[in-house]
């Protein structure tokens, strides 16, 4: 036996909302709130599924929704948060007041992903050009991988004790700390199981696949290419170039 549909589908309207329907929904919610989405359309006199009403309200009719193009700052924030959080659009939207997860998802798929790919291509080209001169660029990111059998691969960056790596880690720590504190509340960091430790940024992967990256004495990582991410952050602040010169 399959799951019961969220509402009776027969006789319910689908597709784009009319102005009149919007007005009915707005007025009803203003008067009564939306404690029960399932019952709402019946009470409001709408021939819509409760789910459809909720979506229309949260993605379009809510008074605090900001319409119009995304600013550069907003786009940068989306890109950075996406690198941290992945496709967790709701979590990203929570950091962008007035923007909905749906809107962010759309912007990501229509604009930002393409732009990022283009940037990546040009970055790869730059890396190629620097090939023989810059050993740091040659290093794979400081990330570990989970092999299929569960054993963890720790790359040389993690184990290497040379001073350059320590300097880089210090800078990473500073920016990681500042960046997360700027963007995320303490509760959120806690909820995501992110630990900022003194010698390294520790990120434990507790996603649905339930592969949890074990804590390591130095840099650990998750399936996110975290070191590439921090490198980007540092690059934006013009710090990594200095380190590379050292």
Q: Which span sits near DNA by CB under 7 A: 104-112, 137-145, 188-196, 236-244? A: 104-112
SS3 154: strand
| Contact assessment for residue 74 and residue 96, using Cβ atoms and an 8 Å cutoff | yes
88 binds DNA (CB under 7 A): yes
32 binds DNA (CB under 7 A): no
Q: Which span sits near DNA by CB under 7 A: 6-14, 153-161, 181-189, 224-232? A: 6-14
Cα→Cα distances 133→59, 93, 136, 165, 174, Å: 50, 41, 9, 18, 27
Q: How far apart are CA 200 and CA 227, in angstroms?
A: 11
Site string for DNA, 39-58 (x = CB under 7 A): x--------xxxxx-xxx-x
# residues near DNA by CB under 7 A: 39
Question: CB 215 → DNA: shortest distance, Å?
Answer: 23
Nearer to DNA, 23 or 164 (CB): 23
139 binds DNA (CB under 7 A): no
Cα→Cα distances 4→1, 13, 48, 193, Å: 9, 19, 17, 35
Question: CB 88 → DNA: shortest distance, Å?
Answer: 3
Cα→Cα distances 194→180, 181, 188, 201, 220, Å: 10, 12, 9, 8, 11
* Interface positions with DNA (CB under 7 A): 3-4, 6, 13-17, 35-39, 48-52, 54-56, 58-60, 87-91, 101-103, 105-107, 109-111, 208
């Amino acid at each position: 036996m399959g799951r019961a549909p969220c509402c009776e589908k027969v006789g319910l309207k689908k597709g784009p909302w009319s102005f009149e329907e919007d007005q009915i929904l707005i007025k009803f919610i203003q008067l009564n709130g939306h404690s029960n989405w399932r019952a709402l359309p019946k009470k409001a006199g709408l021939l819509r599924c409760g789910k459809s009403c909720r979506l229309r309200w949260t993605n379009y009719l809510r008074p605090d929704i900001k319409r119009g193009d995304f600013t550069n700052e907003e786009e940068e924030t989306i890109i950075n948060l996406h690198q941290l959080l992945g496709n967790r659009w709701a979590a990203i939207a929570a950091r962008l007041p007035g923007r909905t997860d749906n809107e962010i998802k759309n912007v990501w798929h229509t604009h930002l992903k393409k732009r990022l790919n283009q940037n990546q291509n040009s970055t790869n080209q730059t890396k190629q050009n620097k090939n023989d001169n810059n050993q740091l660029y040659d290093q794979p990111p400081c990330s570990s991988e989970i092999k299929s059998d569960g054993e963890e691969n720790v790359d040389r960056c993690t184990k290497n004790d040379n001073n350059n790596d320590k300097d880089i880690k210090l800078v990473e720590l500073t920016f990681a700390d500042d960046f997360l504190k700027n963007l995320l509340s303490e509760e959120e960091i806690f909820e995501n199981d992110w630990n900022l430790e003194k010698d390294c940024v520790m990120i434990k992967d507790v996603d649905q696949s339930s592969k949890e990256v074990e804590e390591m004495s130095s840099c650990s990582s998750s399936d996110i290419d975290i070191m590439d991410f921090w490198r980007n952050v540092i690059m934006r602040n013009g710090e990594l170039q200095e380190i590379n010169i050292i």
